[in-house]
Structure 1
Amino acid sequence: MSPKKGLLHFFFYCLLLPSNAFSQHNVEVHFVNPDSALAGNEIKLEAIIKCNEIISFARLQINIPEGFVPINNKKGTAQFIHSKNTIKWIWVSFGESEQRVEVTLATSKNILGEKNFESIFSFADEDSSVHLKLPPVLMYILPYVEPVAEVKPTEEVKFTTKADKYTIQIVAKREDNPIAVKNYLKQNGLKEKAFSFKENELYKFCIGRFKELEDAEIFRKKLAEKHNMKDAFVRVIPGNE
């Protein structure tokens, strides 16, 4: 297939993508996202939720494909939670008739092709609870393109160190118990030293610090395959968003 025909095929593919709007039970959920993006770039995914009736508890859950990692979010009045392959916004009281939330996702350089983001919006009132499975958000990931480095005179070149951004979360506990985590790592054949931070009333224990998402993914796969730590996942180190 010639490059022109390939681009034409991709153009028509984008035109055929379904609408990202959903309406049911007096609730409307609309996703704003690019139809396509380059691997290795950051992607913004926004959700606009409108309710024609007053509801109390509400939750929007999105399942993110492998190779995507949340690095920043706008949560409004909601609580944001990130676990393995899942992000959630939770409203104890939905309150306003419209809520907007947004997440920025880092993408691996190695992913390619069509990616599906499945989601569920749940809410409750005084009488019942409702779980709405939303149409999947489709996004086409194009091959990674190596950025062209800007050439500068030698005397102007400054060497800087990029801060470590990613880590692997291995477990979350209600109490800060580093000894128990150390024993857990030892039982799984690991000598790495864990560090922790408090988030959403839980202590999150992590190992490893990585500059590149790809390096973090390689280490995560090693933990899953060789050390049976299948629930470990890549996340951003707090403060390095």
Structure 2
Amino acid sequence: GGGGGGGQVGWVSHVEAWVALTLWMQLVQVLVMSTRLAALLYTVKELFSDVFRLLVLVALSFFAFGTYLTCLQEEHFNEFFASCLVLLRVILDLDPPELDRLGGWALMMIVLFVIGVQIGMLSILIAQLSLAYEHLSTDKQGYAKMNRVFVCVEIESFLPLQQRRDIHDALGFENPLEFDSGDVGPAGGVQALQNSGVRAHPKYVPDRIIRSPGSASAKEPWPEGGLKAKGNAMDKEGVE
């Protein structure tokens, strides 16, 4: 009875430990509130996908060489899983067994396995991660916003349908956006005011859309002579 109770407590403890670990890992999603942390989180996630693909190749190499060594029935390689475990201990240098009594073919295969995994695949992994990080770092702001939108959509899917409708109605997407006094734009958006320091930035590109605010009445047509002058002025400003 005592042994069974101890086993049950141990099983429950393992479940609680995994639940606690999972909850803390889910807390990482809070990092999307910061653009830089969201970009870092997205980059790490993409890099882990590359690592996982390489680990699949490493696992296949373990199985292949483990099967070969098991067929030889050398010392420490009597069973398949025991052979894979010995190879893992050799790769990680975790108290590997003595291999002096092995035959020449077994030693040669172990050397080839170590060279292929530790030198070959590890070098490929480093080069692949370097190229992937360089590619992701160029557009990290865009990737951060994309990751934030993905998390928001996932969270929104758990909300009741009526609550989502209330949020959508409160945003007022059906109301036209007012660009200026008397200049009513299209509907379907949320207005955000531009910072005044944007135009002073050296990389600022002026808007190519020529807008003529005012009444849209047929009795008051758009000005014709000033449009071409505005376009030429904008082209000159863009060149400068």
Q: TM-score, structure 2 length as denominator?
A: 0.17
Q: TM-score, structure 1 length as denominator?
A: 0.17
Q: Which has the greater radius of gyration?
A: 2
